Amino acid sequence: MRQEVLNWLHTAVPEVRLQHILRVEQMAIALAEAHQLSVVQAQQAALMHDLAKCFAPEKLLAVAAAEEWELDPAEQQVPHLLHAPVGAVVAREQFGITDETVLRAIAAHTLGSPDMDAIGAVVYLADALEPGRGDTPQLHHLRQLSYGDLWKATYETCVFSLQHLLERRRPVHPRTILTHNGLLTICRQSTQSVTA
C-alpha cells in the first residue's frame, strides 16, 4: 500500500512536497510511538494527508460539489482550504481506505476539528511541526511539547497557526476557531483533573 501511494504521489506532487510528506510521515510515526497510539493509522494518514495538495481550485470545488458539502465562504474564496477533506475522498476512492480514524485525520490536518481524536492530533502536529517548517525557538518548543503533552501541544500549535493568519491578515476559517475552542476546553479539563 505504501509504495502504491508513493508511486501515485510521484506523479501528483512536486519533489519538494513529497519530501514534506515523508517528513510528516516520520514525525507522525514518532509521535504515535511516544503516545502509544496506532503507528499504522498515524503513518497511513500522514502519508496521504496531502494527496489533493496540488489539485486545481476547480477540481477541489468539483469534488466538494460531488460530495454535496456545504461550503463556508472562506472555502469558496480560498478553495485550497478544501485540499484536506478532498484528500480524504481521494484516499477512500483511489486507495480504498475505509478506516474512519485515518480518513478523519486526513480531512482535519489543516484546520483541525473540535472533535478530532488523538491520531488526528498527531497528523495535525506532524504537518505543522515537521523539521522542514523551520527552526525557530517557538517551533522547537512546540516540537518538544508534542512528545510530552499531546493535547497541550495541539492547542498551542493551533494558537500559533491562528497568530500566523492574523498577523498576515489572512481569512480564518470558522472551523479553526471551533478547533481552538474545543482544544482549550480539553486543556482546561486536563489541568483541573491534575489539580483536583
Rounded CA gap, 42 and 119, in Å? 6
The pair phi, psi for residue 99, each rounded to 5°, is: -70, 110
Q: What is the pTM of this model?
A: 0.94
pLDDT in tens, 118-169: 999 999 999 999 999 999 999 999 999 999 999 999 999 999 999 999 999 9
Distances (CA, A) of 61 to 21, 83, 85, 93, 139: 23, 10, 11, 17, 33
Assign residue 123 the CATH number of its domain.
1.10.3210.10
pLDDT in tens, 40-84: 999 999 999 999 999 999 999 999 999 999 999 889 989 999 999
Print the domain residue range for 58. Answer: 2-195
Per the listing, cell 470545488 goes with 61
What local confidence, expressed as pLDDT, does residue 170 receive? Answer: 86
Count of other CB atoms within 10 angstroms of residue 163: 11
**What's the structural domain count of the chain?**
1
- Contact in structure between 49 and 69 (CB atoms under 8 Å): no
